[in-house]
């Protein structure tokens, strides 16, 4: 976990979500006062973390730890259907967490959408297994509806995973269980409404409902289509990406295991959810590592098979060793960073951020700071967090959409920069030579002249295109 006390280096996207949650705590209304394109439940999770403690390594760490412990518990319950030995179940849970916390594949994790989505996905799988094993009741579909809504209001494309659940209804109809099918459909719809109710009430109460739907549905559609690639090309890009390597092998093995079980119902549900999950990742538009975390649940058949085959007395030691190597990847990099053995971009970024925070703390108030980021750069959030400042602009980072399609974020940040009302400007350029900030000529052309005339260069990063300017007295 990126915000554990030992590491405390949070992913850039994770910083955005935390700032949104912190904003809710401090009275800001998401989508109206602060903009981001994820669901309100993700921000509620971060609000809870900030209520526990605004120190990331305390509040957010405890929330992430709670989700991970819940994931482990559900995996253990799933494993109970297939393994009698508690040791084998523990090995299965450990192997699952090795994948879930793998820094090298999933960009270090830390307060990311897919991390929280694992929990509802795992519960859904547990309920599906209950159906396969003959322990199904109509309440299960009600809970599936709640889980689907919860995931929608984290990130809408996640609901495609629940396409496999619809297969259950089709199977009930095929068996001519018409009454039970109708009750299941009704229960699922009620569950969807119950799951969406907190988001709807909050949205109507604060007046952000329409803006919320616009942000999480329409904006995400624009974002996913920003590169102009066809869906088929995106799907192949997802499948052939190097990050799919181990997951691809484990998923193929899992498919073979499910196929050989000769359980047609399980196979139909598994294949349907798998195909839709790949499409869901493809719709995200970019091949970022953490998008692939949604594929982990499809490796469970392989993990169960491995856990049953490993020699029990050695298995726990092996699993812990593997977990230590994979899960502590970020910790290892931090240690090497701190002792100067290696020097990563993260190190230079953190060092610059600490200098900015110290200078701001000593000389300036919160309302005098503006973080200026280049197009498609969401790293402004971590600078606001480090300096303990809530942004006073709706757009606190620039969106990764061509300026011609959606100029709002660039216009807002550029106009705030040229307003001259801020005493401190933290500049994060899009090019290393600092020749451009936004890639828009009308704003880029006079930027350096404006800065030299009205501000003094205070801190400059030698590695990254970062500067801190303070207003001339």
What's residue 382's pLDDT?
85
Give CA–CA dist 317/312, Å, rounded: 9
φ/ψ region of 226 (left if φ > 0, alpha if ψ in -120 to 50, else beta) reads: alpha
Which residues are 469's β-sheet partners?
A: 425, 457
Residues 306 and 349 both lie in one domain: no
Residues 279 and 388 both lie in one domain: no
Within-domain flag for 6? no
Residues 374 and 248 both lie in one domain: no
Give CA–CA dist 151/62, Å, rounded: 21
Within-domain flag for 191? yes
Within-domain flag for 110? yes
Give the total residue count for the chain. Answer: 473
Within-domain flag for 389? yes
Residues 277 and 420 both lie in one domain: no
Within-domain flag for 339? no
Q: Which two tokens stand for residue 465?
A: 């295109």
Task: Let me know: does 97 contact 325? Beta carbons within 8 Å.
Answer: no
Residues 6+ apart with CB under 8 A from 171: 265, 268
What are the backbone angles phi and psi of residue 414, rounded to the nearest 5°? -65, -45
* Regions of the chain with pLDDT less than 70: 1-9, 102-109, 225-229, 231, 242-243, 245, 285-289, 311-348, 375-376
What's residue 3's pLDDT?
64
What's residue 463's pLDDT?
81
The residue from 331, 359, 384 where one domain ends is 331
Residues 205 and 233 both lie in one domain: yes
Q: How many C-beta atoms lie closer than 10 Å to residue 433's C-beta?
A: 7
Within-domain flag for 325? yes
Give CA–CA dist 347/61, Å, rounded: 21
What's residue 95's pLDDT?
85
What's residue 40's pLDDT?
97
Which residues are 457's β-sheet partners?
A: 469
The sheet with strand 466-471 has its strands ordered as: 369-373, 424-428, 466-471, 455-460
Tell me the pTM.
Answer: 0.90
Which residues are 459's β-sheet partners?
A: 468
Within-domain flag for 115? yes
Which residues are 369's β-sheet partners?
A: 424
What's residue 257's pLDDT?
95
What's residue 464's pLDDT?
84
**CB contact burial 255-283 (16+ within 10 A = b; e otherwise):** beebeeeeeeebbbbbebbbebbbbbbbb
Within-domain flag for 77? yes
Residues 215 and 82 both lie in one domain: yes
For the chain, what is the domain count? 2
Residues 294 and 358 both lie in one domain: no
What are the backbone angles phi and psi of residue 375, rounded to the nearest 5°? -55, 130
- The residue with tokens 């303990």 is 388
Residues 215 and 361 both lie in one domain: no
Residues 430 and 466 both lie in one domain: yes
Residues 73 and 168 both lie in one domain: yes
Task: Let me know: does 80 contact 15? Beta carbons within 8 Å.
Answer: no
What's residue 450's pLDDT?
94
Burial, 150: exposed, middle or buried (Cβ in 10 Å; 0-12, 13-18, 19+)? buried
**What is the 3-state secondary structure of the chain?**
CCCCCCCCCCCHHHHHHHHHHHHHHCCCCECCCECCCCCHHHHHHHHHHHHHCCCCCCHHHHHHHHHHHHHHHHHHHHHHCCCCCHHHHHHHHHHHHHHHCCCCCCCCCCCCHHHHHHHHHHHHHHHHHHHHCCCCCHHHHHHHHHHHHHHHCCCHHHHHHHHHHHHHHHHHHHCCCHHHHHHHHHHHHHHHHHHHHHHHHHHHHHCCHHHHHHHHHHHHHHHHCCCCCCHHHHHHHHHHCHHHHHHHHHHHHHHHHHHHCCCHHHHHHHHHHHHHHHHHHHHCCCCCHHHHHHHHHHHHHHHHHHHHHCCHHHHHHHHHHHHHHHHCHHHHHHHHHHCCCCCCHHHHHHHHHHHHHHHHHHHCCHHHEEEEECCCCCCHHHHHHHCCCCCCCCCCCCCCCCCCCCCHHHHHHHHHHHHCCCCEEEEECCCCCCCCCCCCHHHHCCHHHHHHHHEEEEEECCCCCEEEEEECC
The residue from 269, 297, 331 where one domain ends is 331
Residues 308 and 372 both lie in one domain: no
What's residue 212's pLDDT?
96
- The tens digit of pLDDT for each residue in 174-222 reads 777 778 788 888 999 999 999 999 999 999 999 999 999 999 988 887 7
- The residue with tokens 């992913």 is 11
Residues 47 and 83 both lie in one domain: yes
The residue from 277, 300, 331 where one domain ends is 331
Whole domain around residue 268: which residue ranges? 12-331
């Amino acid at each position: 976990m990126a915000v554990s006390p030992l590491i405390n280096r949070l992913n850039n996207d994770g910083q955005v979500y935390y700032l949104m949650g912190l904003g809710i705590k401090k009275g800001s209304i998401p989508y109206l006062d602060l903009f981001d394109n994820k669901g309100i439940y993700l921000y509620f999770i971060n609000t809870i973390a900030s209520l526990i403690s605004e120190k990331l390594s305390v509040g957010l760490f405890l929330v992430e730890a709670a989700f991970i412990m819940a994931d482990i518990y559900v995996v253990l319950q799933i494993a109970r259907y297939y393994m009698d030995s508690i040791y084998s179940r523990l090995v299965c849970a450990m192997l699952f967490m090795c994948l879930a916390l793998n820094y090298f594949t999933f960009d270090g994790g830390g307060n990311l959408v897919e991390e929280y989505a694992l929990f509802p996905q795992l519960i859904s799988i547990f309920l599906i297994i209950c159906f396969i094993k003959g322990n199904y009741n109509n309440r299960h579909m009600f809970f599936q509806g709640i889980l689907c809504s919860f995931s929608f209001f984290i990130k809408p494309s996640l609901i495609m995973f629940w396409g496999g659940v619809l297969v259950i209804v089709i199977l009930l109809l095929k068996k001519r269980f018409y009454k039970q099918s109708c009750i299941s459909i009704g229960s699922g719809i009620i569950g969807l409404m119950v799951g969406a109710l907190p988001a709807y009430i909050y949205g109507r109460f604060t007046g952000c409902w329409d803006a919320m739907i616009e942000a999480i549905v329409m904006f995400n559609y624009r974002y996913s289509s920003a590169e102009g690639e066809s869906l088929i090309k995106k799907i192949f890009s997802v499948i052939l990406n190097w990050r799919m390597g181990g997951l691809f092998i484990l998923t193929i093995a899992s498919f073979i295991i499910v196929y050989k079980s000769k359980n047609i119902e399980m196979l139909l549900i598994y294949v349907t959810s798998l195909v839709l999950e790949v499409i869901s990742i493809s719709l995200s538009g970019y091949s970022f590592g953490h998008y692939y975390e949604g594929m982990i649940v499809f490796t469970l058949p392989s993990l169960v098979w491995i856990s049953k085959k490993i020699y029990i007395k050695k298995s726990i030691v092996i699993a812990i060793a593997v977990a230590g190597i994979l899960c502590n990847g970020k910790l290892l990099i931090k240690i090497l960073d701190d002792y100067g053995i290696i020097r990563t971009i993260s190190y230079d970024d953190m060092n610059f951020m600490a200098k900015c925070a110290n200078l701001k703390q000593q000389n300036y108030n919160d309302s005098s700071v503006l973080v200026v980021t280049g197009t498609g750069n969401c790293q402004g959030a971590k600078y606001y967090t480090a300096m303990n400042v809530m942004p006073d602009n709706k757009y606190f980072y620039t969106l990764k959409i061509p300026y011609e399609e959606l100029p709002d974020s660039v216009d807002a940040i550029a106009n705030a920069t040229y307003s001259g009302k801020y005493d401190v400007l933290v500049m994060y350029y899009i090019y290393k030579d600092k020749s451009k900030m936004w890639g828009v000529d009308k704003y880029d052309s006079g930027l350096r002249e404006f800065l030299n005339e009205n501000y003094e260069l205070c801190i400059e990063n030698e590695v990254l295109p970062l500067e801190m300017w303070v207003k001339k007295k």
